[in-house]
């Protein structure tokens, strides 16, 4: 499956075959491609928790208003961000670069993120968002479907997975074999409404 088909056929599926589990080799293949997703300054601030324990999945399902895909999917991924990755031995992100380049980038990383907690969180959300899309497209190319989720109690799920205090959860993704496909697309906006050149036009819509 090429990338165009993967994008066109990716849908949010909520009914998975509960008997199917991805092989370890498939999970590794998926995640090795996810790790190719971009991050600013190459800080790789995403962290991924694959929830495999049935009892733990059951507890997470309770924290997500009993949504069945959490226990029925083949792979449940919790996408988290390390807010302080920029300060944790950042030289390792540039270990294969020339020394002068690595030294300069490490200085820039510390200067850019220090004392700006909002930026640290925003950067984590951007990184996890790009990684999530990569995961869903790779899953589709592998013959699987997926469902990105933010409909759950973030604090409760964080407690269940022992989330470190300097981390936050971005979203979860369910991946698996489809039992029931998604409904037809419900109403994509026209390209002309969301794509502009150079600047925004005067809006024709009033906000309430």
8 Å CB contact between 75 and 176 = yes
- Note whether residue 30 is domain-resident: yes
> Total domain count for the chain?
1
pLDDT tens digits, 142-159 = 999 999 999 999 999 999
pLDDT tens digits, 179-190 = 887 788 888 899
- Note whether residue 193 is domain-resident: no
8 Å CB contact between 10 and 137 = yes
- Note whether residue 119 is domain-resident: no
Q: Report the CATH number that the domain containing residue 133 is assigned in CATH.
A: 3.40.109.10
What is the rounded CA–CA span in Å between residue 189 and residue 42?
34
pTM of the model: 0.92
Query: Pick from 150, 179, 157, 181: which is nearest to 74 by CA?
Result: 179
The answer to whether residue 26 scores a pLDDT higher than 90 is yes
Mean pLDDT over 55-59 rounds to: 98
**What is the predicted pLDDT for the residue at 204?**
64
The answer to whether residue 162 scores a pLDDT higher than 70 is yes
**pLDDT-derived band of residue 104, with 50, 70 and 90 as boundaries?**
very high
**pLDDT-derived band of residue 173, with 50, 70 and 90 as boundaries?**
very high
| Domain boundaries, position 147 | 3-82+128-183
- Strands 15-16, 145-149: pairing is unpaired
**What is the predicted pLDDT for the residue at 180?**
80
Here the tokens at position 144 are: 């699987």
- Note whether residue 199 is domain-resident: no
């Amino acid at each position: 499956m090429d990338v165009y088909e993967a994008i066109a056929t990716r849908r949010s599926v909520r009914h998975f075959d509960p008997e199917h589990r991805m092989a370890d080799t498939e999970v590794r293949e998926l995640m090795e491609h996810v790790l190719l997703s971009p991050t600013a300054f190459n800080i790789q601030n995403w962290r991924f928790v694959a929830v495999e324990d049935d009892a733990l999945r059951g507890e997470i399902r309770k924290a997500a208003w009993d949504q069945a895909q959490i226990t029925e999917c083949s792979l449940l991924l919790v996408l988290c961000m390390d807010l302080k990755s920029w300060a944790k031995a950042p030289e390792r992100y540039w270990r294969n670069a020339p020394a002068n380049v690595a030294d300069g980038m490490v200085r820039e990383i510390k200067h850019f993120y220090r004392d700006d907690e909002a930026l640290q969180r925003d950067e984590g959300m951007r990184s996890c968002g790009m990684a999530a899309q990569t995961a869903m497209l790779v899953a589709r190319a592998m013959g699987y479907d997926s469902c990105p989720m933010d409909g759950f109690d973030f604090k409760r799920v964080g407690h269940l997975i022992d989330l470190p205090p300097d981390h936050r959860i971005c979203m979860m993704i369910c991946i698996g074999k489809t039992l029931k496909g998604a409904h037809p697309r419900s109403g994509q906006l026209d390209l002309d409404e969301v794509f502009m050149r150079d600047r925004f036009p005067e809006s024709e819509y009033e906000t309430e």
